[in-house]
Amino acid sequence: MRCPNCGAFLDDNKTVCTMCGAAINNNNNNNNNQNLGFNNFNNNTFNQTGGFGSNNSFNNMNSFSSNDTFSGNPNANPSFSTGSVFSSGNANQSMSQRQADYENKFNSYKDMDYKTNIKKEDKDIFDFFSENKTIIKIVSVLALFALLGFIGYKYYQHKLKPVEEKPILLNLYFEVDSSLQQVAGNSNSTLIYNKSGEKGSACSISITYGSSTEGDHVKEFFQTKKTSLDPERDSNTNVVDELKIFTASDSSMTINDTPWYYLNIFYKPSVEQDPTILKYKYLTSTHKGYYYDIELVNNSNDSVCNASLDNFAKSLKFIDEQE
């Protein structure tokens, strides 16, 4: 049998509808002419509403029966309840009221804080990050500062790490900056670094070593250089070019705990001026039976060349490798 209120199929012995809860009259349901909840179709017209069809009409609403008639409450309107089943509604409710009810329900769902109902064991990694944004930001900033500090410390250690110094020419260690390029020497006992300019070799370093003799190597070395730089003279022994007359100055100094002897050659910038241009500088020293002669040249009176030659001279150091 069917429920006269909602039309649900029920067992014959049921007295209450399991779908809508309406009371069931078994005697009425056994009647072959039980109503279905709509007005009967009669004479191809709707009773009370106009109509169509053949010999049937709608009388009321809400349930089906076997005789193609509808019985029930004509003002009833099927509607959804919270249990997802049909329950009686209000057919006379206005559209604006229905819209307002819908929006109220929608907003109540939208504003609900679902996170408060999530169990701890059901939370995932995204919930963890969402709940701990502030702590994560603080930890991330601290980690970034720690990483930068570690990188800075390693860089500082790298800068403080002493350069491994190994002898370059026999037992002599030195440093030459990148402005000077190494060129071939006269032999295996000579190294030459040079920078070319308008006047040829504008800035150069020449280093030579050899076995020392019993004589005064320093005096002999300086005398040889002075002789090679003596200006050209005419038949009357007069100097041809006065700007090529030099003034020599020699002495000694200590570089990295080693005594070195030097000879400076100064020239005049003009005939009327005193010799102030340092064009040649010679250094010599002995170590373990060998002499080391160095010639520094600045042909262009260039300040950059002067700086390169000074830095080279300061780096001179004798290193005895362990065998």
Cα-based angle 118, 120, 126 (whole degrees, multiple of 5): 75
223 is in which domain, residue-wise?
172-232+240-318
The answer to whether residue 144 is domain-embedded is: yes
Residues 58 and 178 both lie in one domain: no
R_g of the chain, CA atoms, integer Å: 57
Residue 9 within a domain:
no
135 and 191 share one domain: no
The answer to whether position 105 is within a domain reads: yes
Question: Which pLDDT score, from 0 to 100, does residue 24 have?
Answer: 79
| 84 and 119 housed in the same domain | no
Asked if residue 131 and residue 52 are part of one domain, the reply reads no
Within a domain: 157:
yes
pLDDT at 132: 78
CATH for 272: 3.40.1000.10
Q: Are residues 225 and 277 in the same domain?
A: yes
Any domain includes 256: yes
Residue type, 260: W
Q: Tokens 């006065």 appear where? A: 242
Within a domain: 205: yes
* Domain co-membership, 195 together with 268: yes
Give the total number of structural domains in the chain: 3
Instruction: Indicate if 89 and 190 belong to the same structural domain.
Output: no
Please check whether residues 297 and 176 belong to one and the same domain. Answer: yes
In a structure prediction context, what are the per-residue pLDDT tens digits for the chain, which is 323 residues long? 788 888 778 777 888 887 788 887 766 555 434 444 444 434 444 444 444 444 444 444 444 444 444 444 555 444 444 444 444 445 556 777 777 777 776 666 555 555 555 666 666 666 667 777 888 888 889 999 999 999 998 888 777 777 678 899 999 999 999 999 998 766 678 999 999 877 668 899 999 999 987 788 999 999 999 999 999 999 998 999 999 999 999 999 999 999 999 999 999 999 899 999 999 999 999 999 999 999 999 988 889 999 999 999 999 999 987 54
For residue 181, what pLDDT is reported?
92
Tell me how crowded residue 103 is: count the other CB atoms within 10 A of its CB.
Answer: 10
| pTM higher than 0.85 | no
Same domain (yes/no): 287, 189: yes
Residue 105 confidence (pLDDT):
67
Provide the pLDDT for residue 18: 78
| Claim to verify: residue 66 and residue 103 sit in the same structural domain | yes
Please check whether residues 101 and 197 belong to one and the same domain: no
Q: Do residue 178 and residue 314 come from a single domain?
A: yes
Residue 13 lies in a domain: no
Is residue 53 in a domain?
A: yes
Query: pLDDT value at position 93?
Result: 60
E strands along the chain, which residues? 40-42, 45-46, 57-58, 76-80, 86-90, 172-173, 181-183, 190-197, 200-211, 246-255, 258-267, 277-287, 290-298, 317-318
Q: How far is residue 264's CA from residue 256's CA, in Å, rounded to a whole number?
A: 20
